[in-house]
Each structure stands twice: as structure tokens, then as C-alpha cells.
Amino acid sequence: MLKPMEIISYTKNNTQVYITRNHFNLSTDVDLTHLYDDEKEKFVALKSEKRKKEFLLIRMLKNQLFPEKEIAYLDNGAPFFTDHSFSLSISHTSGYVGLAISTEKRVGFDLEEVQQKIVKLAPKFMHSRELESIKTKDLPLHYTHFWCGKEALYKWSGIDGLSFRNELPIFNELESWHGKSTRISNENIPLEMIQLENHIVCFTY
């Protein structure tokens, strides 16, 4: 039996986030006994070792926290608990995997590693107002905040095809982050931003 995962957790209002390190070896750490039958079928059907690893890690994390619950997916790929007890959002990087739950109707959560390559990508997903608002010299870190925030908002929105640049604006006022999903409403959606080593964690609350 695998030993319990070490879990990092954050709580804000009605949102709880649980994160664990992406330390896993498919050749030695695989134990399918904790999977439901349909999950075993999905796991076997996955082609990529990366996807297999993420799929198992999320379920191992879920089983340590909520062993009685099962994760399924909508047609657009959004995860949910089959008993509809909580809203659910999932994210993974090469360093961490995590899930967020909320007693509210929606939750959006994202994990992103800070990487230099985001500097070239930023104009593709950031509005000119957002680019001009940045005063710091640490552009990779700040751009990752915006990308992570927009990913969390996208998941919160539950709408395919939203424009990160034009329909998911992000605002940082005195280190207090919030955003909007303008196709839904002009309501401000609070965003919790946390730096975890070389990663940014963002979730709605």
C-alpha cells in the first residue's frame, strides 16, 4: 500500500484547495485497486504517460480526502463529483497536482509553473491594459499571475471558447486580485493568488 500523500492546503471563504507534489512513478507506484471500474477503463485508454500519471494522482489525492466520492467529466472536459456535493476544479503541472472544492455554485482553480517562455506568449492572452499595468521587472512571475488568473476564471465560467484577452480581464489593485467573465456578467470575481515555490496558485472564492 502506498503511504499517504503530503498535502498542502489553502482555504478562503467557501473554497478549499488541496495540492500534492507530482512525485509518482508509473512503473512502481501504480495501484488500480482504488479506482472505480469506469475509471480503470479510462486509465487504460489513455495513451500518454503524462496523462496517465495525472489521472492517477488526482484520484489518489481525492481518495485520501474524499474516498466515497467519484470524479466524472462533462462533455467540455470539466470535472464534477457524481454526487454533486461540491463544485470541483482540477489542475496539474510537472511539479504539482491539485483540486479545489467549494460549497458555492462555481469554483475555478489553476496551478502554473513560472517559466521564461511566457514573456513571448503574454501579448496573445493579455489585453493591452493589462500589459501596461505591469510595473515590475519580474515579467515571467507577473505574467504567470495573469495567465493563472484567466485559467481559473475560464474554469469558473464553464463556457467553451472564451477569449482570454478580451472576455476574461484581470485586475490587481493593491495586491488584491479579481477578474470578470464578461460574457456572463460584469460582476467582480475575487481571486486568491499564492506563490508556491516556482508556481502560482490561483482560485476563486
Give 24-43 pLDDT, tens digit per residue: 777 776 777 678 888 888 88
Same domain, 101 and 116: no
In the prediction, which pLDDT does 33 show? 66
40-61 residues labelled b (16+ CB within 10 A) or e (exposed): eebbeeeeeeeebbbbbbbbbb
Q: Is 29 helix (H, G, I), strand (E, B) or coil?
A: coil
Euclidean distance between CA atoms 42 and 53, whole angstroms = 12
Euclidean distance between CA atoms 129 and 170, whole angstroms = 10
| Per-residue pLDDT tens digits for 141-173 | 999 999 999 999 999 999 999 999 999 999 998
| Per-residue pLDDT tens digits for 63-85 | 999 999 999 999 988 999 999 99
- Class of residue 80 by CB neighbours under 10 A (exposed 0-12, middle 13-18, buried 19+): middle
Euclidean distance between CA atoms 203 and 149, whole angstroms = 8
Same domain, 172 and 90: no
Q: Of 105, 137, 158, which one is at a domain's C-terminal end?
A: 105
Q: What is the DSSP letter of 103?
A: S
Strand partners, 204: 191
CATH of the domain at 176: 3.90.470.20
What's the pTM? 0.92
Same domain, 150 and 193: yes
| Per-residue pLDDT tens digits for 112-143 | 999 999 999 999 999 999 999 988 889 999 99
Structural domain boundaries enclosing 46 = 8-105
Q: Of 54, 74, 105, which one is at a domain's C-terminal end?
A: 105
Q: Quick one: which of 74, 70, 61, 68 has its CA closest to 100?
A: 61
* Share above pLDDT 90 across residues of the chain, in percent, rounded to a whole number: 75
For residue 25, give the C-alpha cell.
512513478
Same domain, 92 and 120: no
